[in-house]
Structure 1
Amino acid sequence: MSFVETHGLWTGDQHAAYAELLERLKKRDVQIVRFSFPDQHGLLRGKTLVVDEAIKAFKSGVTLTTTLLAKDTSHRTVFPVYTMGGGFDMPEMQGACDTMMIADPETFRVLPWAPHTGWVLCDVYFNNGRPVPFGTRHLFRRALAQLGNHGFEFCSGLEVEFHVFKVASPNMKPEHAGQPGVPPDIELLSHGYQYLTELRYDAVDEVMEMLRRGVEGLGLPVRSLEVEYGPSQFEFTFAPTKGVRSADDMILFRSAVKQICQRNGYHATFMCRPRIPNVVSSGWHLHQSLVRVADGKNAFMPADDAAPLSESGQHYLAGLLAHAQGATALSTPTINGYRRYRPYSNAPDRANWGRDNRGVMLRVLGGADDPATRIENRIGEPTANPYLYFGSQVLSGLDGLRRKLALPPSADTPYETQADALPRTLGDAIAALRTDECLREGFGSAFIDYFCKLKEAEIDRFNLEVTEWEHREYFETF
Structure 2
Amino acid sequence: MNSQGIVKNRGFIDRFNLWNTEQSEAVEKIHAVIKENGLRLIRVAWSDQHGISRAKTLTIPAFLGAMKNGIDFNTGPLFFDTANAIVYNPFMKGGGFDSDEMTGCPNYTLVPDPLTFKSLPWAEHTGWILCDAYLKNGNPLPYDSRQICKKALKELNSKGYDLLSGLEVEFSLTKIVDDEIDASLLGAPGSPGQPPKVVPVARGYQYQLEAHNDEIDDILQIIAENIQQLDLPLLTMEDEWGPSQLEFTFAPMKGIDTADTMLLFRTAVKQICKRHGYLATFMCRPSIPGFFSSGWHLHQSLIDINTGENAFIPNNSDGPISEIGQQFIAGILENARAATVFTTPTVNGYKRFKPNSLAPDRAGWGLDNRGTMIRVIGGIEDDSLHFENRAGEPAANPYLYMASQILSGLDGIERKLQPGPLSTEAYNDNRPLLPKDLQSAVDSLKESEVFHNKMGTDFVNYIISMKESEINRYTTYVQENNIEDYANIVTEWEHLEYFEIF
1:441 aligns with 2:453: yes
- Secondary structure (helix, strand or coil) at the match of 2:321 reads coil
| Residue-pair matches, total | 473
Q: Deviations over 1:198-249 (max 9, x none)?
A: 1122112112111101111111000100011101011100000110000000
* CA distance in 1 between partners of 2:454 and 2:392 (Å): 20
* CA distance in 1 between partners of 2:254 and 2:342 (Å): 20
* CA distance in 2 between partners of 1:27 and 1:158 (Å): 31
1:153 aligns with 2:165: no
Contact 1:171/1:182, CA 8 A, preserved across alignment: no
2:114 corresponding residue in structure 1 = 105
1:257 to 239, 246, 269: 269
* CA distance in 2 between partners of 1:397 and 1:472 (Å): 38
1:123 corresponding residue in structure 2 = 132
1:84 to 68, 83, 93: 93
1:208 aligns with 2:220: yes
1:385 corresponding residue in structure 2 = 397
Farther off after superposition, 81-90 or 51-60: 51-60
Contact 1:141/1:244, CA 8 A, preserved across alignment: yes
The amino acid of 2:51's aligned partner reads G
* CA distance in 2 between partners of 1:28 and 1:336 (Å): 41
The amino acid of 1:227's aligned partner reads D
1:181 aligns with 2:224: no
1:15 aligns with 2:2: no
What fraction of aligned residue pairs are identical, expressed as a percent? 44
* CA distance in 2 between partners of 1:375 and 1:468 (Å): 43
TM-score, normalised on structure 1?
0.97
The amino acid of 2:322's aligned partner reads S
Contact 1:171/1:183, CA 8 A, preserved across alignment: no
* CA distance in 2 between partners of 1:48 and 1:182 (Å): 26
- Secondary structure (helix, strand or coil) at the match of 1:96 reads coil
- Secondary structure (helix, strand or coil) at the match of 2:103 reads helix
Q: Deviations over 1:423-462 (max 9, x none)?
A: 0000000110111111111111000000000000001111
1:166 aligns with 2:166: no
* CA distance in 1 between partners of 2:29 and 2:210 (Å): 43
Q: Deviations over 1:341-364 (max 9, x none)?
A: 000110000010000100000001
2:475 corresponding residue in structure 1 = 463
Please report how far the alpha carbon of residue 53 of structure 1 lies from its aligned counterpart in structure 2 after TM superposition: 1.2
Describe how 1:175-254 pairs up with structure 2 within 5 A.
Answer: 175-178=184-187, 179-254=191-266
- Secondary structure (helix, strand or coil) at the match of 2:454 reads helix
2:352 corresponding residue in structure 1 = 340
Farther off after superposition, 352-361 or 363-372: 363-372
Describe how 1:214-363 pairs up with structure 2 within 5 A.
Answer: 214-304=226-316, 307-363=319-375
Please report how far the alpha carbon of residue 133 of structure 1 lies from its aligned counterpart in structure 2 after TM superposition: 0.5
Q: CA RMSD for the aligned pairs?
A: 1.4
The amino acid of 2:93's aligned partner reads M
TM-score, normalised on structure 2?
0.92
Unaligned residue ranges in structure 1 (runs of 5+): 474-478
1:476 corresponding residue in structure 2 = none
Farther off after superposition, 357-366 or 49-58: 49-58
Q: Deviations over 1:232-279 (max 9, x none)?
A: 011100000110000000000000000001111100000000001111
1:49 to 54, 58, 69: 58
Unaligned residue ranges in structure 2 (runs of 5+): 1-9, 486-502
1:39 corresponding residue in structure 2 = 48
Please report how far the alpha carbon of residue 186 of structure 1 lies from its aligned counterpart in structure 2 after TM superposition: 0.4
Contact 1:196/1:228, CA 8 A, preserved across alignment: yes
Contact 1:67/1:77, CA 8 A, preserved across alignment: no
The amino acid of 2:452's aligned partner reads R
* CA distance in 2 between partners of 1:467 and 1:80 (Å): 26
* CA distance in 2 between partners of 1:375 and 1:455 (Å): 28
